[in-house]
């Protein structure tokens, strides 16, 4: 994963930890192996919104300042 951590005032190392936590959370939410997930930075230059896709499902997560919260989800046909 390669993301730009700017725009939220946190050091990059903080987001390395938080992206790992997000991957674990998304694996549970999407019922998908964490290694099968693809994460996408939805707003260039901002870590506030991350898309996660895998196992024919997608979800958007928002950073609240203390945790990742799923904003929406969809499943493939």
Q: Where are the chain's structural domains?
A: 12-67
C-beta separation of 52 from 59 below 8 A: yes
Whether the full predicted model's pTM is greater than 0.85, yes or no, is: no
Picking from 17-21, 38-42, 46-50, 60-64, which range would have the lowest pLDDT averaged per residue?
Answer: 46-50
Helix (H, G, I), strand (E, B) or coil at 24: helix
26 near 72, Cβ under 8 Å?
no
Residues 6+ apart with CB under 8 A from 18: 47, 63, 68
Question: What does the alpha-carbon distance between residue 58 and residue 54 come to, in Å, rounded to a whole number?
Answer: 7
Rounded distance between C-alpha atoms, residue 5 and residue 44, angstroms: 10
Confidence category of residue 55, pLDDT binned at 50, 70, 90: very high
């Amino acid at each position: 994963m390669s993301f730009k951590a700017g725009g939220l005032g946190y050091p990059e190392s903080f987001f390395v930890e938080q992206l790992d936590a997000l991957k674990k959370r998304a694996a549970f939410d999407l019922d998908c192996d964490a290694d099968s997930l693809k994460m996408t930075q939805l707003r260039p230059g901002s870590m506030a919104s991350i898309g996660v896709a895998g196992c024919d499902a997608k979800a958007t997560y928002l950073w609240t300042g203390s945790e990742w919260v799923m904003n929406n989800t969809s499943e493939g046909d």
